[in-house]
Structure 1
């Protein structure tokens, strides 16, 4: 179906940089040509211009196949321009209008990815990480076996590592501030949360528990956590430190660190 559209010049006040400028000059084009022009702008990396064309397609032909495609193109253009706020908004709009469409997988994935790429270091607020985790889990749940779900699973592990790192940062702060109980709670969160148990922070969390428990005189708890650390991570530098610490307190663990076992073997079997 060939249709003509009228594009008028207007400026819209908004928080994003792509909206606080004049849009397109007035011109009439068939919707196919309008969409094609937006796509050409997209190929040239002119993200804001592309968005203008695709928005007009959506405005003039809501709920149509053209609108569906145009929203997807807006998501991509916003994302390429690092305009994550509008990319997320466009993704939500597509999901609301076309929830059962196969392309909804792309909208869910891009929404989660936009949150993921805004994750900051562990010393700051982790709202983006938490939102990314929710979105990525949704992708993995809704679209198992797809490339989107496979990539989402990888990113989920990365986000969990980030969130576990945040718990460790807070725990170390409490430990330095001589607040052992608060530190213990943070370290135990890393150890007890199944999602965090597979992260790179688990060995350190166990070691820190050994440190804190020894500092408050709970040697049995320190030994227990040291044993868990040695059983699961015998080659970890954190276990070597825990072994040394416990040995100095007269609580030598039964399992020596891997490096020390190797040295003992070399002593009885030279070479």
Structure 2
């Protein structure tokens, strides 16, 4: 009897507990986090950009694109995300955003700026001449694209200066390889490198050295006529350079001087033909081109929905006349040495 009573009590307790669970209210689920509106995300990104919180800025623009792909702010968010990544030296991410903008909005008023900034993403990654120069070639291609598409813009003028610097960099690479071959006594290979500098990079500051190195190699090969002829070209164009003094000394050592051999420092027939690039001339104040343009086309002014509807073209990009606050290229922010 007692055992039956215990079982009955236990069974009643189970029923009581299960009954309580039936009437117990479940806790209310937490509401999902709401996403800010497109204009809020855009302006938050602009504010972060102005206060140099570049990673936050890029995140806001990315969020806008993911959640409002058809918003009127989306085009500018692509452009500005690229700009924010560029300022962080995250060039592949910047190029990805800019490439998306260019592909979707090729006729935008901001297209010139997008192409220029894309070119800078490659230009800023140019490495030392001792390394592979594929990035230099890519940067030149992008800069030439800017000139071809937007020849009358300030971006085209600055692109030309940077192309000259790229060419100087490529010539420096050829000289490095040529000197290596010369040291290894692979004279034919060295001649090929030096001749390419003379023929293909005539406006760089490596031409004088290339001519002197050619004189050295020709003398080593016993090609005295070629050595004299090359020395004459060097004397005509660079009569007062140290490279002609070296060549003159080498000819003297091989007893190849004549009464017609110009003395170093003496002009021949007419003043030397300048081979300085526009960038080099500008560095000395000669024929100075306009200063490299700032990134003033970046639309960093916060906008409202009413401004957007009144100040955009058909593809939703903000007109450059309403833009403010220039940016600073990474090369001017100490990101790397831009002396190439």
- TM-score scaled by length of structure 1: 0.83
Cα offset, 1:111, TM superposition: 1.4
Higher mean C-alpha displacement, 145-154 vs 248-257: 248-257
Matched, 1:111 2:121: no
Deviation sequence 1:76-101 (CA, Å, 0-9, x none): 10001110110111111111111111
Question: CA 1:189–1:64 in structure 2 vs 1: closer, same or farther (change >3 Å)?
Answer: farther
Give the conservation status (yes or no) of the 8 Å contact 1:143–1:149: yes
CA 1:47/1:27 → structure 2, altered by over 3 Å: closer, same or farther?
A: farther
Structure 1 residue 61 displacement after superposition: 3.1
Shift of 1:250: 2.2
- Deviation of 1:64 (Å): 4.4
Q: 2:213 aligns with which of 208, 221, 230?
A: 208
Give the C-alpha shift of residue 246 in structure 1: 1.1
Per the alignment, do residues 63 and 211 of structure 1 end up closer, same or farther by CA in structure 2, a change over 3 Å counting?
Answer: farther
Q: Which has the higher helix share?
A: 1
Q: 1:129-160: per-residue Cα shift (whole Å, max 9, x none)?
A: 11111111111111113111111111111110
The answer for the alignment partner of 2:272 in structure 1 is none
1:231 corresponds in structure 2 to 236
CA displacement at 1:260 relative to structure 2: 10
Secondary structure at 2:171 match in 1:
helix
CA-atom RMSD, angstroms?
Answer: 1.7
| Native 8 Å contact 1:63 1:97 kept in 2 | no
- For residue 50 of structure 2, the aligned residue among 43, 55, 72 is 43
* Counterpart position of 1:126: 133
Equivalent of 1:66, from 73, 81, 84?
A: 73
Q: Which residue of 2 aligns with 1:135?
A: 142
1:258 aligned counterpart, secondary structure: coil
Contact 2:236/2:267 (8 A) holds in 1: no
**Unmatched 5+ residue regions in structure 1?**
1-24, 262-271
CA gap of 1:169–1:73, structure 2 versus 1, over 3 A, is: same
TM-score, normalising length: structure 2: 0.66
**Which residue number in structure 1 is paired with residue 179 of structure 2?**
172
State the Cα deviation string for residues 216-237 of structure 1 (Å, max 9, x = none).
Answer: 1001011111111111111111
How many residue pairs match? The answer is 235
Alpha-carbon distance between aligned partners in 2 of 1:28 and 1:116, rounded to the nearest angstrom: 37
Partner of 1:76: 83
CA distance in 1, matches of 2:198, 2:267: 26
Aligned to 1:7: none
CA displacement at 1:63 relative to structure 2? 5.1
- Structure 2 matches for 1:136-151, cutoff 5 A? 136-151=143-158
- What is the DSSP-based 3-state SS (H/G/I as helix, E as strand, rest coil) of the residue aligned with 1:79? helix
Q: Please name the residue that 1:264 is paired with.
A: none
8 Å contact kept, 2:38–2:71: no
Displacement of 1:120: 1.1
In 2, the alpha carbon distance for the partners of 1:141 and 1:222 equals 41
Post-superposition offset of 1:259: 6.5
Q: For the Cα contact (< 8 Å) 1:210–1:223, is it kept in 2?
A: yes
Deviations 1:52-75 (A, max 9, x none): 111122223335431111011101
1:156 aligns with 2:171: no
